[in-house]
Structure 1
Amino acid sequence: MQWYVPVIQLNLSALRWLCLLRLGLRLWLVLFVIFASGAAHSFPFGGLLKGGEYIHQSELVTGAVYARDIIKGENDAPILVEYDLEGNEVKALGEHSGRYADTRIMSITEYNGYLLLREKVENLYAQKFVLLKRNAYENSLLLDQDGNPINKKALLPDTLFVWILKQEFIVPDENYILLEVPVDPYLSPFTVELNTLRSLLVSNTSGKIIYKSHNNIGYRTGFIVNPKSGEQSTFRRKFDDELLNPIAYAKVFAAASGKEFTSTTDELGKYRIEYFNPPCPGIEITYHNPIIAELHYSRFHPGKKERDIYGCPAYVNCFPVKLFHFYYT
């Protein structure tokens, strides 16, 4: 018996055309979804794919521009605190009033420097100088070695003690002031304590040390404070928080779409900027739009910049609209 085996002859040319057709259909479907999603973001909703006016993505940003400021206590005086080397507050001394009313903050290095200068001057001009308090100097009549009165030089604002040459060593029209200090000149220079102490509170009238600290002494400062709770923060603000040092009428601008969208802070340091990004292209994308504040300064010397800018990053995530779902098996 002869067996017949059925054979199916395939037309390979037709099969290739069929594969290309299916691939083309899938490509058109993908392009259709992308175009439809982009159209939904870019054009009015009068029709899904109906052409219309090009529409940007509108964004609104609100914020504030502010700086650090000194926090005052109940008596409207700055609060003295101690800071560690990392800048953390470790101890509160109280307001800069009462016991500390007439004091100044000074580093142990500066105070010790005055004492070392005193030793140097007294050794260099031994038996040739006179040490006077400020009042004694200002009320005295100074004569040069020829017996003629001299025009006294004004002392520095914080000078408490001054070393001047004796009359027999004062040459006309030459300097006669050897040293001025705002500290107690009768102390010996620090030795052991110099390695442990960091800051002092020094009397403005006597130059004596009122308080010593192993930390840095400074005023309590902050950016944002809640008037009710006293809670402080730096960046996050609640609706009832108070800006300690708002910067009014500062230029603020957003960089988007290759342009500057400009605004100005109000009297409370707050701003509101509306800017535009390109429409969502139908795929997920993140627009980076920095918010920049421009601040002007008074120059201390000709080489210093008159203005500086401070930036805050802003991000806008754009997600495509999922209009259709296609499943392939």
Structure 2
Amino acid sequence: MRLIQVLDAAGAARVGVIAADGDTVQLLDGWSHSYDLAVAAIAQGVTLDALAASAIGSQTLSYRDALAAQRVLAPLMHPDPAHCHVTGTGLTHLGSAAARDAMHKSLQQDAAAMTDSMRMFKMGVESGIPQDDRPGAQPEWFYKGDGGIVVAPGAPLPSPDFALDSGEEPELVGLYVIGADGTPHRLGFAIGNEFSDHITERQNYLYLAHSKLRYCSLGPELRTGELPADLRGTSRVRRGDAVVWERPFLTGEANMCHSLANLEYHHFKYAAHRRPGDVHLHYFGTATLSFTDGVSTVEGDRFEIDLPDLGAPLVNPIAIVDSGFALGGVRPL
């Protein structure tokens, strides 16, 4: 099922299902937010699909028009942004055939000559998939922020004035709600743009944490159920009417050195990540970036991430913003 959160003609938030024609949105009766729908499904012991299907009403709207008017919201939010955790894992994807060959050649070199990043990638290649019910290797993990950093499809991605780069990362995102007993429940998946500062990251790998503390986007749709193992999409950067960069990208377990179950285990094994009622939006990584091809983005550039198996593309422009803080901004009390 393809679920969205959308503002109706009166400006009220509604949960909707994308019909088979790809444009008709069937609004659900009685449900304003996918979070409430998920909490109810968990409590009733039914699937998200079943509860959504039982609530489909007679009201409809045009998906195309809603996207054009920027009335489509992120597909999952918590009513309190502080209870939404936005995180991710890196060095999880094998990349294209050419990149894969280069990686495998690098893995043949003496271990002492490897960078820490290459060692971690090697661990994933060798044991990123659980065997005999034992967890696989731990992935690289990072924190991006709480729900306040998530922008809606079509909305500008704010890049702080202190950033050295404003770069896209086309990714698969897992959407989760923690049940009352502490069990993580995966609602489904969405397209994500894990917006990052790659110049800061490249200065020193210990700056990874700084580079990830940025806004991000996901959606427009939440796809429920299992995913195809091989997912293929296109990532592009537009400047005005011109496409300044475009490349295909691969994701899904067939193109990853970690299984999704392994990445989920290493995130949710921490008790702090299993607090009842919390939302988790987890980015699973990528191997395709415009930055690696020497592209320097500028304000107004528009990112377009198209992954057809997950519905409509995710589109967001860049907006440079004042960080609102300066040296000496802390006041003694």
- Structure-1-length-normalised TM-score: 0.21
Higher fraction of helix: 2
| Rg (Cα) greater in structure | 1
